[in-house]
Amino acid sequence: MAKLNFGGVEENVVTREEFPLAKAQEVLKNETVAVIGYGVQGPGQALNQKDNGINVIVGQRKNSKTWDKAIADGFVPGETLFEIEEALQRGTIICYLLSDAAQIALWPTVQKHLTPGKALYFSHGFGITFNEQTGIVPPKDVDVFLVAPKGSGTSLRRMFLQGRGLNSSYAIFQDATGKAKERVIALGIAVGSGYLFETDFRKEVYSDLTGERGTLMGAIQGIFAAQYQVLRDKGHTPSEAFNETVEELTQSLMPLVAENGMDWMYANCSTTAQRGALDWWKKFRDATAPVFKDLYESVATGKESQRSIDSNSQTDYREKLDAELKELRESEMWQAGKTVRSLRPENQK
Ligand SMILES: NC(=O)C1=CN([C@@H]2O[C@H](COP(=O)(O)OP(=O)(O)OC[C@H]3O[C@@H](n4cnc5c(N)ncnc54)[C@H](O)[C@@H]3O)[C@@H](O)[C@H]2O)C=CC1
Ligand SMILES: CC(=O)[C@](C)(O)C(=O)O
Ligand SMILES: [Mg+2]
Ligand SMILES: [Mg+2]
């Protein structure tokens, strides 16, 4: 395991060089990896494993859209695609990739098939960490671990196809066989991770829930909406407001941050912009820090997990989520964005 210096702190990471695909294939050669659920992570992880030569099967409800999607993706009913129970029975490693709320309902069925020596794999620390809310308590004689790709399953697949790799975290909750570590790292490489960093279930879920509610998804939409509205209220057009809030960020500036850090992006902007950004960033930090503290507290006390279980366990949760997404999509800001995107030269015919 490589020890790397992250801004002055030493941490363990697993790279593809020290744990190449051939080693992962060797570790998993006698395993049947059953991917249960074919939503967002399911396809990314199952297809990457298939392309990496791993013996992977998919478990999904028959007569569902995602069953048909699995077939379209090359999984074959009766060979590599099964009803959930049959996949659970065939799998030696169960990748539990239903939504976190749906994992609760199927848990009694999964539990039945966790015979000694099998492994239970998650892509989130949710079910185990919040077990008082989920009831997910695995038997002692199976390995339990996670590989959590740090991004959408869609990106996991896309980056794999581009020869790149999304980074993932991994954690071991229970090592019953003595082989949990080589199993989990082999799976991490097999699902297409670029590299793996170490964590535990609790830290994974606390940081993940904070991140997605915070800067990655929730906070960013909030900041966009606030700035857009101020510009609109001051008489700027939708296209101007959208460009100065979103388009320039995603098209020009964030790629520079991704490539070489914030100071590099700043350095490639005008001295006027640099002066202003350097003056203002701390005000935004100080204004939002209390909200982030509240958010972390809400995660750590189990309020966020309970809210997500309560709303996503309802039978009409999909319709309700879709309605809320529609509200975003139909807001003036994102409608303006749609027109702006259509003007990008690569989107014009
Ligand atoms: N969406 C993503 O890209 C990421 C997800 N994760 C984690 O990966 C896991 C899977 O998440 P997603 O792929 O987003 O799940 P999802 O919400 O896309 O659902 C996966 C599958 O569950 C099936 N399903 C829903 N309710 C069911 C039920 N009652 N019985 C049987 N099947 C049911 C759906 O048909 C779907 O095929 C979760 O633990 C999540 O937190 C982690 C990183 C990113
Ligand atoms: C994509 C990801 O890693 C998230 C945002 O945490 C999630 O989908 O749960
Ligand atoms: Mg998440
Ligand atoms: Mg995440």
Strands 81-82 and 33-36: unpaired
CA atoms within 13 A on the CB side of 179: 14
Burial tier of 50 (Cβ tally within 10 Å: 0-12, 13-18, 19+)? buried
CA atoms within 13 A on the CB side of 27: 20
Q: Which residues of the chain have pLDDT under 70?
A: none
Predicted confidence at residue 133, as pLDDT, reads: 98
Predicted confidence at residue 108, as pLDDT, reads: 98
Question: Ramachandran region of residue 96, left (φ > 0), alpha (ψ -120 to 50) or beta?
Answer: beta
Write the residue with the smallest CA distance to atom 8 of ligand 2: 152
Q: What 8-state DSSP symbol labels residue 283?
A: H
State pTM to two decimals.
0.97
CA 210 from chain centre, in angstroms, equals: 13
Predicted confidence at residue 1, as pLDDT, reads: 79
Query: From the CB of 327, is ligand 2 less than 6 Å away?
Result: no
Question: Ramachandran region of residue 215, left (φ > 0), alpha (ψ -120 to 50) or beta?
Answer: alpha
Residues 296, 206: contact at Cβ < 8 Å? yes
Predicted confidence at residue 349, as pLDDT, reads: 77
- 311 CA from centroid of ligand 2 (Å): 17
Q: Which of 208, 220, 221, 325 to mutate to test the pocket of ligand 2 (most atoms within 8 A of CB)?
A: 208
**236 has catalytic annotation:** no
Strands 119-122 and 93-96: parallel
Binding annotation for substrate: 270
pLDDT tens digit sequence for 83-124: 999 999 999 999 999 999 999 999 999 999 999 999 999 999
Q: Which of 207, 212, 304 to mutate to test the pocket of ligand 2 (most atoms within 8 A of CB)?
A: 212
Residue of 50, 113, 118, 124 marked catalytic: 124
CA distance linking residue 7 with residue 13, whole number of Å: 14
CA-CA-CA-CA dihedral for 198, 204, 206, 210, to nearest 10: 100
Query: From the CB of 218, is ligand 2 less than 6 Å away?
Result: no
Atom of ligand 2 nearest to the CA of 216: 5
Atom of ligand 1 nearest to the CA of 66: 37
- 9 CA from centroid of ligand 2 (Å): 25
What is the arrangement of strands in the sheet containing 9-15, beginning at the earlier edge strand? 2-6, 9-15, 195-198, 168-174, 143-149, 119-122, 93-96, 33-36, 56-59, 81-82
Question: Ramachandran region of residue 290, left (φ > 0), alpha (ψ -120 to 50) or beta?
Answer: alpha
Q: DSSP strand E in the chain: where?
A: 2-6, 9-15, 33-36, 56-59, 81-82, 93-96, 119-122, 143-149, 168-174, 195-198
Predicted confidence at residue 310, as pLDDT, reads: 97
Predicted confidence at residue 103, as pLDDT, reads: 98
